């Protein structure tokens, strides 16, 4: 045993919906990144801080990697790879179902190709093992390991925590010796205003269908600390079309009211204080062509 501390970055990369954000939240032990059943939930790298023994692992949750079409998609995928390039360890998270005949593995194959080009040695984490047959899993593991891009293979369930402790051990040991990068009690390094906007975006994604969640963005416009400990938050939901605005408002304003209630409840838990949340919806047809909105969340507009 040594008293020396370790600290560094571990990037979690993978196809959309592989479970990256769920895993990061599980490793950190609190919710730092939003999760939905839909693809392309995470839009920019979110850093969560895990303390494990004498190691501090800054987990970089990245947007899912897929073949991008729109400007926002390109920026998301670029930021995911940047997160991986600068990291001390890279975890490729794979939805096991994609390799056991219950899904499409082409996105994973594209990622493996890129890892090969980078000469990377990633940790393979086969996720969602609670959903697949062990027998099929062994063949999948072999096929993946034979690609030669992995140093280690783990089978996990980010949802129920199976195998997550082993992954934490492995990452902690991989970190270089050095002082902690963040205060030990800090779970995330994204600003409160951005966390608040993300939680509202999660509730919108969960409630809305088809393309609407992909064509909106949420901004926290005002954050007011009150003397009694409560916080008043004003947020603007920018949508692409008038029709989307009408759907988000809902009949008699019921939909936005429900979304606001769900978001406020969770924000009160996250921040540990009463929250007063005020949501408005605005049609900003070209928000996806707005350079400032990209840089505000650390994405490259010209990706």
Ligand X SMILES: Nc1nc2c(ncn2[C@@H]2O[C@H](COP(=O)(O)OP(=O)(O)OP(=O)(O)O)[C@@H](O)[C@H]2O)c(=O)[nH]1
Bridge partners (DSSP) of residue 12 are 61, 91
Q: Give the residue among 125, 12, 16 at the shortest CA–CA distance from 66.
A: 16
DSSP 98: G
Two tokens, residue 145: 């390991």
Q: Is 41 in the site for Mg ion (CB under 5 A)?
A: yes
Two tokens, residue 238: 């920018």
Q: Is 45 in the site for ligand X (CB under 6 A)?
A: no
Q: HSE (CB half, 13 Å, CA atoms) of 71?
A: 13
User: Would you say 74 or 245 has its CB closer to ligand X?
Assistant: 74
- A 10 A CB-CB count for 160 gives 12
Smallest distance from ligand X to CB 102, Å: 12
Cα–Cα distance for residue pair 79/82, rounded to 1 Å: 5
Q: Is 141 in the site for ligand X (CB under 6 A)?
A: no
Q: Give the residue among 241, 297, 91, 81 at the shortest CA–CA distance from 174.
A: 91
Instruction: Give the H or E element holding residue 63.
Output: none
> How many residues bind to Mg ion according to rule CB under 5 A?
4
- Pairing outcome for strands 216-225 and 231-239: antiparallel
Smallest distance from ligand X to CB 14, Å: 6
User: Would you say 205 or 231 has its CB closer to ligand X?
Assistant: 205
Choose the contact partner of 105 out of ligand X, Mg ion, none; CB within 5 to 8 A by kind: none
Of 14-22, 83-91, 109-117, 295-303: span binding ligand X (CB under 6 A): 14-22
* Residue choice 25, 26, 40, 42 for contact with Mg ion (CB under 5 A): 42
Smallest distance from Mg ion to CB 199, Å: 14
Of 15-23, 51-59, 101-109, 137-145: span binding ligand X (CB under 6 A): 15-23
φ and ψ of 298, to 5 deg: 75, 25
User: Would you say 198 or 219 has its CB closer to Mg ion?
Assistant: 198
User: Would you say 22 or 235 has its CB closer to ligand X?
Assistant: 22
Q: Is 288 in the site for ligand X (CB under 6 A)?
A: no
DSSP string, 156-203: --TTT-TTHHHHHHHHHHHSPB---SS-TT--B-S-HHHHHHHHHHHH
* Residue choice 64, 164, 212, 238 for contact with ligand X (CB under 6 A): 64
Smallest distance from ligand X to CB 23, Å: 7
Q: Is 39 in the site for ligand X (CB under 6 A)?
A: yes
Smallest distance from ligand X to CB 156, Å: 7
Two tokens, residue 167: 């992954």
Backbone region of residue 190 per phi and psi (left: phi > 0; alpha: psi in -120 to 50; beta: other values): beta
Q: Would you say the C-alpha torsion 138, 144, 150, 156 has a positive or negative sign? A: negative
User: Would you say 22 or 284 has its CB closer to Mg ion?
Assistant: 22
Give the 3-state secondary structure of residue 279: strand
Smallest distance from Mg ion to CB 41, Å: 5
* Residue choice 21, 25, 55, 215 for contact with Mg ion (CB under 5 A): 21
Smallest distance from ligand X to CB 205, Å: 9
Q: Give the residue among 57, 55, 59 at the shortest CA–CA distance from 2.
A: 55
Binding site for ligand X (CB under 6 A): 14, 16-22, 35-37, 39-42, 63-64, 127-128, 130-131, 157-159
Binding site for Mg ion (CB under 5 A): 20-21, 41-42
């Amino acid at each position: 045993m040594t008293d020396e501390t370790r600290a560094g970055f571990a990037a979690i990369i993978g196809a959309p919906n592989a479970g990256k954000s769920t895993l990061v939240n599980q490793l950190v032990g609190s919710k730092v990144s939003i999760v939905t059943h839909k693809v392309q939930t995470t839009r920019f790298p979110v850093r969560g801080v895990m303390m494990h023994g004498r190691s501090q692992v800054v987990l970089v949750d990245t947007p899912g990697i897929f073949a991008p079409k729109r400007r926002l998609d390109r920026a998301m995928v670029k930021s995911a790879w940047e997160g991986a390039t600068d990291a001390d360890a890279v975890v490729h998270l794979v939805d096991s179902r994609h390799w056991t005949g219950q899904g499409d593995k082409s996105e994973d194959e594209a990622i493996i190709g890129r890892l090969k080009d980078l000469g990377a040695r990633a940790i393979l984490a086969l996720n969602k093992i609670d959903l697949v047959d062990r027998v099929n899993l062994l063949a999948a593991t072999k096929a993946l390991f034979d690609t030669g891009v992995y140093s280690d293979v783990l089978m996990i369930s980010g949802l129920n925590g199976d195998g997550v402790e082993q992954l934490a051990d492995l990452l902690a040991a991989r970190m270089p010796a050095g002082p902690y990068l963040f205060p030990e009690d800090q779970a995330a390094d994204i600003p409160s205003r951005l966390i608040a906007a993300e939680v509202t975006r999660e509730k919108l994604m969960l409630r809305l269908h088809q393309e609407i969640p992909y064509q909106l963005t949420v901004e926290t416009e005002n954050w007011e600390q009150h003397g009694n400990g409560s916080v008043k938050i004003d947020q603007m939901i920018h949508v692409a079309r008038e029709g989307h605005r009408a759907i988000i408002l809902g009949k008699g304003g019921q939909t936005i009211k429900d979304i606001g209630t769900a978001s406020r409840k969770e924000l009160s838990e996250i921040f540990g204080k009463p929250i007063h949340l005020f949501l408005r919806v605005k049609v900003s047809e070209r928000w996806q062509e707005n350079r400032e909105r990209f840089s505000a969340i650390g994405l490259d507009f010209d990706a």
